[in-house]
Structure 1
Amino acid sequence: MRFDFNVDKSAKTATIVREFNASLPLVWDAFTKKEILDQWWAPKPFLSKTKVMDFRVGGRRFYAMVTPEGAERWSLQQYVSISPKTHFKMSNAFADKDENPELPGSEWDLTFSEDNGTTTVRVVIWNESLERMEKMIEFGFKEGMNATLNSLEQLLETLSHA
């Protein structure tokens, strides 16, 4: 399935487009329900552990990426706007274990659409700082997102046949 990753340094954005052979409601749930998110929202061998998930405008997700050794790297996502089954925006920042964000963060704009049983997710990530975006890319964000979205694809296949 399609995976595009494009960077526009002048706009300080990274755009990801990924197709899934799954229904839009299932893909939407995978991005908005913690019990599904935690099964795929980390490149292996890392795990995702959600402490708080309140998917509503003004709500938040507070979660950790957990290394195989048990080290935790926390992140805080705050939901800015939601149009059910089609679109949501969130701010995203690393944080300490007490939910204090490390700024600057990034703004994520996610759009979902379905055509003939294929759901496309388009994610535009805007970074306040060009330096932060360049570090993100340098540390393997493209490869990590590709691996993470491949895990989602495998999970969706399992959930589609459940």
Structure 2
Amino acid sequence: MTNNFVFEPDLAAKKIYISREFNAPVEKVWRAWTEPALIEKWIAPKPWTAETKTWDFTVGGVWLYAMVGTDGQRFWVYALFTAIENGSAISTTGMFCDGDGNPVAGGPKSYRDTKFLSIDGNRSKVASVITFEEESTIKMFMDGGFKQGTGASFNNLDELLASE
């Protein structure tokens, strides 16, 4: 079955629209996005890995994690959960930070709204809108391989969902 990966940047609106279908029920996909032991298995494009330092999946809670390169280099990300609709939607504010969760001074911020939908055939669809404060930030993401990394991460998620 096709996964229907859509990645549509809108530079004028400073938004990226992303959607992807998965061959698993929405409950299983939701778990893969909301349990740190599972999300660490797919979120980083290979050969990178992800390590969670803090996980508080509540509105106002924080997910502090690192994308870890093969040389051990860590890129820290801080995601503040701004809204959660159990089983169907998550909103976050994200930024780069240090290992203690302190934002990078003058660093970019993004806002992500993600919806989880059941579709025919006991499958699911995840649809996200990422909004950036600055045009330079969306350009940085686009030039930095964000589309390719997102596609690779979703392929990792396919593998995880098939094995769980």
Judge same fold: TM > 0.5, yes or no. Answer: yes
SS at 1:50's partner residue? strand
State whether structure 2 residue 150 is matched by structure 1 residue 150: no
Task: Tell me the equivalent position of 2:40.
Answer: 38
1:24-103 correspondence runs (5 A)? 24-102=26-104, 103=107
State whether structure 2 residue 127 is matched by structure 1 residue 122: yes
Give aligned pairs, total.
159
Cα distance in 1, alignment partners of residues 137 and 11 from structure 2: 11
The normalised TM-score by structure 1 is 0.96
SS at 2:159's partner residue? helix
SS at 2:140's partner residue? helix
What are the ranges of 5 or more consecutive residues in structure 1 without an aligned counterpart?
A: none
Q: Percent identity?
A: 35
Which stretches of structure 1, 4 residues or more, deviate above 4 A after TM superposition? Answer: none
Aligned counterpart in structure 2 of residue 107 of structure 1, from 101, 106, 111: 111
Cα distance in 2, alignment partners of residues 23 and 32 from structure 1: 15
- Tell me by how many angstroms 1:104 deviates: 2.6
**Matched letter for residue 120 of structure 1:** K
Cα distance in 1, alignment partners of residues 147 and 103 from structure 2: 23
State whether structure 2 residue 140 is matched by structure 1 residue 138: no
Task: Tell me the equivalent position of 1:13.
Answer: 15
Cα distance in 2, alignment partners of residues 2 and 153 from structure 1: 13
- Tell me by how many angstroms 1:63 deviates: 0.3
Cα distance in 2, alignment partners of residues 38 and 154 from structure 1: 13
- Tell me by how many angstroms 1:69 deviates: 1.0
SS at 1:148's partner residue? helix
What are the ranges of 5 or more consecutive residues in structure 2 without an aligned counterpart?
A: none
The normalised TM-score by structure 2 is 0.95
Map Cα deviations across residues 48-67 of structure 1 (whole Å, 9 max, x no partner): 00011111101010000000
SS at 2:142's partner residue? helix
**Matched letter for residue 85 of structure 2:** S
- Tell me by how many angstroms 1:146 deviates: 0.2
**Matched letter for residue 14 of structure 2:** K
SS at 2:100's partner residue? coil
